[in-house]
A and B are shown apart, each in its own frame.
Chain A
Amino acid sequence: MNKTAPVEVYEPFKAGLPPLTRYWRSLWTRRSFISEYSRSELHEKHFDTVFGQVWLIINPLLLSGVYFLLIVIIAGNSDKMRYAHLTACLFLFYFVNHSMSGGSKSVVKGGKLILNTAFPRIMLPMSAWLIALIRFLPTLVVFFVIRAFMGLPWGWNMLWGIPVVMITGAFALGLAILISCANVYFRDIGSFLPYFSRTWLYLSPILYEVKNLKPKLRTFELVNPLFSMMDAWSRAIVHNQMPHLESLLKGTAWALATLLVGTYFFLTRERDFAVRV
Chain B
Amino acid sequence: MSNFQPVSGEIAVSVQHLGLTYTTTIDKRPTLKARLRTMGRGTKHTRVVRALDDVNLDVPYGSVLGIVGANGAGKSTMMRVMSGILPPSQGRVEVYGKVSTLLALGVGFNPSLSGRENVLLGGLAAGMTRKEIADHFEEIADFAELGDAIEAPMRTYSSGMFSRLGFSVAVTVRPDILIIDEALSTGDAHFKEKSLNKIKELRGDARALIMVSHGLGTIREVCNEVAWLHKGKLIQRGEPNAVVDAYEKFLHVGKSAAINEDI
The answer to whether B85 touches A117 (Cβ under 8 A) is yes
Q: In the assembled complex, how far is the CB of residue A34 from the closest CB belonging to chain B, in whole angstroms?
A: 9
Closest A residue to B10 by beta carbon equals A2
Contact of B24 among A112, A117, A275 (CB under 8 A): A275
Chain B residues 187-210 with CB under 8 Å of chain A are none
The answer to whether A33 touches B89 (Cβ under 8 A) is no
Tell whether A118 pairs with B83 under 8 Å between CB atoms, given A2-B7, A30-B125, A272-B22: yes
The answer to whether A8 touches B84 (Cβ under 8 A) is yes
18 CB < 8 A contacts A-B: A9-B95, A11-B93, A30-B124, A30-B125, A36-B124, A37-B121, A37-B124, A112-B106, A113-B121, A116-B103, A116-B109, A118-B83, A186-B32, A187-B30, A188-B32, A192-B32, A271-B86, A272-B22
Complex-state Cα separation, A33 to B117, whole angstroms: 11
Residues of B within 8 A of A114 (CB): 85
The answer to whether A112 touches B105 (Cβ under 8 A) is yes
The answer to whether B125 touches A33 (Cβ under 8 A) is yes
Complex-state Cα separation, A186 to B22, whole angstroms: 18
Complex-state Cα separation, A2 to B60, whole angstroms: 11
Interface secondary structure of A, over-half rule? helix
**9 residue pairs, one from A and one from B, having the closest CB atoms:** A112-B109, A118-B84, A116-B106, A33-B124, A113-B109, A6-B94, A186-B32, A188-B31, A10-B93
* Interface check A26, CB cutoff 8 A: yes
* Interface check A202, CB cutoff 8 A: no
Q: In the assembled complex, how far is the CB of residue A35 from the closest CB belonging to chain B, in whole angstroms?
A: 9
Stretch at the interface among B126-134, B138-146, B235-243: B126-134
* Interface check A73, CB cutoff 8 A: no
Residues of A within 8 A of B106 (CB): 112-113, 116-117
Contact of A187 among B24, B29, B82 (CB under 8 A): B29
Instruction: Count contacts on B: residues with CB < 8 A to the other chain.
Output: 59
B22, B81, B104, B110, most chain A CB atoms within 10 A = B110
Contact of B125 among A111, A123, A274 (CB under 8 A): A123
Complex-state Cα separation, A192 to B67, whole angstroms: 45
Chain A residues 1-60 with CB under 8 Å of chain B are 1-3, 6-13, 18, 26, 29-30, 32-33, 36-37, 40, 44
The answer to whether B109 touches A274 (Cβ under 8 A) is no
* Interface check A144, CB cutoff 8 A: no
* Interface check B69, CB cutoff 8 A: no
Residues of A within 8 A of B215 (CB): none
The answer to whether B125 touches A7 (Cβ under 8 A) is no
The answer to whether A12 touches B87 (Cβ under 8 A) is yes
| Chain A proximity mask over B5-31: 1 for CB below 8 Å, otherwise 0 | 111001100100000001111000111
Chain B residues 75-123 with CB under 8 Å of chain A are 80-99, 101, 103-106, 108-110, 112-113, 117, 120-122
* Interface check A196, CB cutoff 8 A: no
Complex-state Cα separation, A29 to B32, whole angstroms: 36
Complex-state Cα separation, A186 to B11, whole angstroms: 43
* Interface check A110, CB cutoff 8 A: yes
The answer to whether A2 touches B125 (Cβ under 8 A) is no
* Interface check B4, CB cutoff 8 A: yes
Q: A116-B85, A116-B103 are in contact. List 18 more A-B contacts (CB 8 A).
A: A2-B4, A2-B10, A7-B95, A9-B92, A10-B84, A32-B124, A40-B113, A113-B121, A116-B101, A116-B105, A118-B84, A119-B126, A188-B31, A188-B32, A192-B32, A274-B86, A275-B24, A276-B24
Complex-state Cα separation, A110 to B4, whole angstroms: 32
Contact of B30 among A13, A110, A123, A185 (CB under 8 A): A185
Complex-state Cα separation, A274 to B23, whole angstroms: 11
The answer to whether A11 touches B88 (Cβ under 8 A) is yes
Tell whether A36 pairs with B120 under 8 Å between CB atoms, given A1-B7, A113-B125: yes
